[in-house]
Chain A
Amino acid sequence: MRRILIWLPLLLFAAFIGLFASGLFQPDDRIIQSRLVGQPLPDFDLPAAASDQPGLGSRDMAGGKPRLLNIFASWCVPCAVEAPQLMALKRAGVAIDAIAIRDARSDVDAFLARNGNPYQRIGLDARSAVQIALGSSGVPESFIIDGRGRIAYQHIGDIRADDVPTILARLEDAR
Chain B
Amino acid sequence: MIAEAGLAALWLAASLALLQLFLAVTGLKGGKAELLAAMRPVAVGQGMLTAIAFSLLITLFLRSDMSVLLVAMNSHSAKPWLYKFAGTWGNHEGSMLLWVTVMGVAGGAVALFERALRRDTHMATLGAQATISLGFYAFLLFSSNPFARIDPPPTDGQGLNPLLQDPGLAFHPPTLYLGYVGLSVAFSFAVGALLTRTVDAAFARAMRPWVLGAWILLTLGITAGSYWAYYELGWGGWWFWDPVENASLMPWLAATALLHSVTVLATRDGLRAWTIMLAVIAFSMSMVGTFLVRSGILTSVHAFAVDPERGSFILALLAIYIGGALALFGWRIGSVREGAPFELISRETLLVVNNLLLSVILGIVLIGTLYPLMTEAFGHKVSVGAPYFDRIAGPIALVLMLAMAAGPLTRWRRDRVPAVAKRLAIPAAAGAVAAVIIATLAWGRMGLLPLFGLIVAIGVGIASLAPLWKRKLLRTPLFTWGMVIAHLGCAVSLAGMACDSAFTVEKLVAARPGETIRTAGWALRFVQIMPLAGDNWTALQADLAVDRGGNAVMMRPQSRFFTSPPTTTSEAALLTRWNGQLYVVLGEEVEGGRWQLRIWWKPFVTLIWLGGILIAFGGALALIGRERRGWLAKWRARRAVA
Binding site for B on A (CB under 8 A): 2-3, 6-7, 9-10, 13-14, 16-17, 19-26, 28, 30
Task: Indicate if the CB atoms of A7 and B311 lie closer than 8 Å.
Answer: no
Specify which of A3, A23, A30 is in contact with B373 (CB 8 Å cutoff).
A23
**B interface: dominant SS:** helix
Q: A13-B322, A16-B370, A19-B370 are in contact. Are A24 and B295 (CB under 8 A)?
A: yes
Task: Indicate if the CB atoms of B297 and A20 lie closer than 8 Å.
Answer: yes
Sample (9) of A-B pairs whose CB atoms are under 8 Å apart:
A6-B330, A10-B323, A13-B326, A16-B370, A17-B319, A20-B297, A20-B315, A24-B308, A24-B312
Write the B257-296 contact mask toward A (1 if CB under 8 angstroms, else 0).
Answer: 0000000000000000100010011001000100010011
**A interface: dominant SS:** helix
Give chain A nearest CB distance to B92 CB in angstroms: 16
A-B pairs, 8 with minimum CB distance: A10-B326, A23-B297, A7-B330, A24-B311, A6-B330, A23-B373, A9-B326, A22-B377
Task: Indicate if the CB atoms of B326 and A20 lie closer than 8 Å.
Answer: no
Give A13 to B288 CA distance when docked, in angstroms.
11
Q: Which residues of B contact A21 (CB under 8 A)?
A: 315
Chain B interface size range: 20 to 34
Q: Which residues of B contact A14 (CB under 8 A)?
A: 323
Specify which of B281, B308, B329, B376 is in contact with A6 (CB 8 Å cutoff).
B329
Q: A6-B333, A16-B370, A19-B374 are in contact. Are A24 and B315 (CB under 8 A)?
A: yes
Most buried by A among B280, B295, B318, B326: B326
Give A83 to B315 CA distance when docked, in angstroms.
44
Task: Indicate if the CB atoms of A6 and B377 lie closer than 8 Å.
Answer: no
Question: Residue on B with the closest CB to A15?
Answer: B374
Q: Which residues of A contact B373 (CB under 8 A)?
A: 19-20, 23
Give A2 to B273 CA distance when docked, in angstroms.
11
B425 within 8 A of A: no
Task: Indicate if the CB atoms of B376 and A26 lie closer than 8 Å.
Answer: yes
Give chain A nearest CB distance to B229 CB in angstroms: 23
Q: Which residues of A contact B312 (CB under 8 A)?
A: 24
With A6-B334, A30-B299 known, 15 other A-B pairs at CB within 8 A are A6-B329, A9-B281, A9-B326, A9-B330, A17-B318, A17-B319, A19-B377, A20-B295, A23-B377, A24-B295, A24-B297, A24-B308, A24-B311, A24-B315, A26-B377
Question: Residue on B with the closest CB to A5?
Answer: B273
Give chain A nearest CB distance to B45 CB in angstroms: 34
Give A17 to B281 CA distance when docked, in angstroms.
15
Give A161 to B281 CA distance when docked, in angstroms.
52
Q: A6-B329, A10-B330 are in contact. Are A17 and B315 (CB under 8 A)?
A: yes
Give chain B nearest CB distance to A24 CB in angstroms: 5
Q: Which residues of A contact B322 (CB under 8 A)?
A: 13
Give chain B nearest CB distance to A119 CB in angstroms: 28
Q: A17-B315, A24-B308 are in contact. Are A9 and B277 (CB under 8 A)?
A: yes
Give A16 to B326 CA distance when docked, in angstroms.
13
Give chain A nearest CB distance to B199 CB in angstroms: 14
Give A148 to B288 CA distance when docked, in angstroms.
52
Task: Indicate if the CB atoms of A17 and B329 lie closer than 8 Å.
Answer: no
B327 within 8 A of A: yes
Q: Which residues of A contact B299 (CB under 8 A)?
A: 30
Q: Which residues of A contact B295 (CB under 8 A)?
A: 20, 24
Q: Which residues of B contact A24 (CB under 8 A)?
A: 295, 297, 308, 311-312, 315
Specify which of B273, B277, B284, B376 is in contact with A23 (CB 8 Å cutoff).
B376
Give A30 to B297 CA distance when docked, in angstroms.
12
Question: Residue on B with the closest CB to A23?
Answer: B297
Q: Which residues of A contact B376 (CB under 8 A)?
A: 23, 26
Write the B295-318 contact mask toward A (1 if CB under 8 angstroms, else 0).
Answer: 111010000000010011001001
Q: Which residues of A contact B327 (CB under 8 A)?
A: 10
Give chain B nearest CB distance to A127 CB in angstroms: 18
Question: Residue on B with the closest CB to A26?
Answer: B376
Give chain A nearest CB distance to B305 CB in angstroms: 14
Q: Which residues of A contact B315 (CB under 8 A)?
A: 17, 20-21, 24
Give A2 to B335 CA distance when docked, in angstroms.
12
Q: Which residues of A contact B292 (CB under 8 A)?
A: 20
Most buried by B among A16, A17, A28: A16
Give A130 to B530 CA distance when docked, in angstroms.
40
Give chain B nearest CB distance to A120 CB in angstroms: 33
Give chain A nearest CB distance to B273 CB in angstroms: 8
Give A153 to B284 CA distance when docked, in angstroms.
45
Give A87 to B591 CA distance when docked, in angstroms.
33
Q: Which residues of B contact A10 (CB under 8 A)?
A: 323, 326-327, 329-330
Write the B322-352 contact mask toward A (1 if CB under 8 angstroms, else 0).
Answer: 1100110110011000000000000000000
Question: Residue on A with the closest CB to B299?
Answer: A30
Give chain B nearest CB distance to A157 CB in angstroms: 18
Give A22 to B373 CA distance when docked, in angstroms.
9
Give A16 to B333 CA distance when docked, in angstroms.
22
Give A14 to B311 CA distance when docked, in angstroms.
17
Q: Which residues of A contact B377 (CB under 8 A)?
A: 19, 22-23, 26
